[in-house]
Structure 1
Amino acid sequence: MDKEVLFQKCVSFITSVHQAANDFSQNVKADSITSVQYKILEYIYVSTPVTLSEISECLHISMPNTSRELKKLSEKNLIEKVIDTEDRRKQYIRLSKDGEMMMYEAFKTIEAHFLQRLQHASNEELAEIDHALDVLQSKLFY
C-alpha cells in the first residue's frame, strides 16, 4: 500500500473526527463556562487525573492561560487539585462532584447525538465500526 495515500486518508479521517466531535458536542456547554473551560473539563473528564502541563500541552493553551482557567474552574467548584502523596510538589487536577455532574450531563447529550448518527447502522456495520475503532486505537492513537 502506498503510505503517502494512507497518510492523506488519515489526515482526512482526523479532520472528519474533529468535525464529528464538534457536531456531537453542539449545545452541550453550560452557559456558566466558556468554550475553553468546557474543553478543559472535557479533557479532565476523559483523562483523570491530569496535571496542569498535560492540559496545557494537549489543548495547546499556554501554561499561564491554563492556570488562569483552572483557577476560574476551581472558583466555580468544578475542579479540585490533589497533591501527589509521593511527590508533594506535584498536583493532579480532577473534577469535583459538581464538575462530574456537569460533564455527565454533557456526555449524555453527546451520546444521544452519537446514537442518532448510528440509528440506521446494521449490527454487522456496528461490529465493523467497533473493530475499526479497536484497530485505530491500538495502531494509531495509542
Structure 2
Amino acid sequence: MDKNVLFQKFVAFTAAVHQTTNEITKNVKSETITPLHYKILEYIAVSQPVTLSEISECMHMSMPNTSRELRKLSEKQFLEKVADDEDRRKHIIRLSKKGEAMMNESFQRIESRFIERMEHVSEEELKEIERALDLLHSKVFN
C-alpha cells in the first residue's frame, strides 16, 4: 500500500473529525465558562486524573497560562487539585462534583446529537464503525 496515499486519507479524516467535533459540540458548554475552559474540562473528564504538564501539553499552552486557567476553574469549583501520594510536589487534577455534573450534561447533549447522526445507519454498519473506531484507537490514536 502507498503510505503517502494512506497519509493523505489520514489528514482528510482528522480534518473531518475536527469539523464534526465542532458541529456536534456547538453550544453544549455552560454559559459560565469560556470555550477554552470547556476544552480543558473536556480533556480532564476523559483523561482524569491528569497533571498540569499533561493539560499544558494537550492544550498547547505554556505552564503558567495553564496554571492560571486551572486556578480560574478551581475558583468556580469545577475541578480540584490533590497532592500526589508518591510525590508531594506533584498535583493530580480531576473534576469536582460540580465539574462532573456539568460535563455529564454536556456529554448527554453530544450523545443525543451523535445518535441523531447515526439514525439511518444499519446495525451492520454500526458494528463496522465500532470495529473501525477500535482499530483506529489501538493503532493510530494510542
| TM-score of Structure 1 vs Structure 2, range by shorter chain | over 0.9
Aligned to 2:121: 121
Q: Which moved more, 1:62-71 or 1:2-11?
A: 62-71
Deviation for aligned residue 1:88: 0.5
Cα shift readout 1:76-115 (whole Å, capped 9, x = no counterpart): 0000001111110110100000000000000000001111
Q: Does 1:14 align with 2:23?
A: no
Q: What TM-score results when the alignment is normalised by the length of structure 1?
A: 0.98
Cα shift readout 1:99-135 (whole Å, capped 9, x = no counterpart): 0000000000000111111000000100100010011
Cα shift readout 1:30-79 (whole Å, capped 9, x = no counterpart): 11100100000000000000001100101111111111110000000000
Alpha-carbon distance between aligned partners in 1 of 2:101 and 2:15, rounded to the nearest angstrom: 30
| Count of matched residue positions in the alignment of Structure 1 and Structure 2 | 142
Q: Does 1:25 align with 2:38?
A: no
Q: Does 1:67 align with 2:67?
A: yes
- Structure 1 unaligned spans of 5+: none
- Compute the RMSD of aligned alpha carbons: 0.6
Alpha-carbon distance between aligned partners in 2 of 1:95 and 1:84, rounded to the nearest angstrom: 15
Amino acid at match of 1:99: G
- Structure 2 unaligned spans of 5+: none
